[in-house]
Structure 1
Amino acid sequence: MIRTATPDDVPVIHALIRELADYEKSLDEVRATPEQLREALFGENPAAYAHIAQDDTTGEPVGFTLWFLTFSTWRGVHGIYMEDLYVRPSARGGGHGKALLTELARICAERGYQRLEWSVLNWNRPAIDFYESLGARPQDEWTVYRLTDEALESLGGRG
């Protein structure tokens, strides 16, 4: 079962983010606090959205996706960028990941959005195989760039 996250889900979303970061060997990089997530997801002007995958029998949260809107200047419409999709190892293979992606694709179709995009670590072959089995294709002609920490502060005039 997939449902829209509520403010009561913030602790579990935070825990799932930490589990995902641990899986990606980057737990020490997680700085987000539950308070920041609450504001981003449920504040006066939400910047992001989340859905929860629940075990069909117990109702226990077993995964989540967190996403935000993008805009394509070439297509002239919004899209969705999926920041995270994570299913706990004990629940993998149960269709939860596909159900989360299906929900985002449904939102795109319902709202006229024309893109659903995300990034995958190059070493994460199980995720790559899963996404490709659904028809997703890598955008090999693009390279992701990122400014953070000191470089961002320096460029922004604060370093």
Structure 2
Amino acid sequence: MHLDWGIKPSLLMYVAGAPGGRLAVDPEVGGEGASFWFRLDVERSAALPGGGTTPDARAFAFGGSVAFFGHFGSFVGEIGDPEVRADEGDSWTMSVLDRESGVRTDAFRLVGEPEGADGGRLLRWTQVEVSEAGAGLWGGNYPAGTRFEPVTIDFGEDVTSR
């Protein structure tokens, strides 16, 4: 089980094209091309209120980090140890951890209930927006409401070997 996310193509292109720009991707994060796979952290998921490992759970925790560095290695932002949880109503929140400070921020709003697909194997949110709190994580480059790529939780294939 894993979270599959393309994050934001323009951010990835900026990092790839900036002099000294780079990604710092934990070895536990998989993926192909511009899609990153954050593996389920079973223990953290079970400890979250409503957390679990099945499509009917209301909270999931994933491990790994992708950090973005722009011009001359300047820090741009980080997606660290994402957690996805249901909110009141029909939206969900994805928080990320700043591993250096240990501070977790509710950085993204996943709008609406997830779409189920592939016989219940996938949960997908097509509208992913930066939250008010998340806007501060990107140095003002992505204000609240900025759209990021869709997020999918895949309950099928184990990507541990990738």
The two structures have a TM-score, normalised by structure 1, of: 0.30
User: Computing the radius of gyration over CA atoms, which structure comes out larger, 1 or 2?
Assistant: 1
- The structure carrying a bigger helix percent of its residues is 1
TM-score by length of 2: 0.29
Greater RCO, CA 8 A, separation 6+: 2
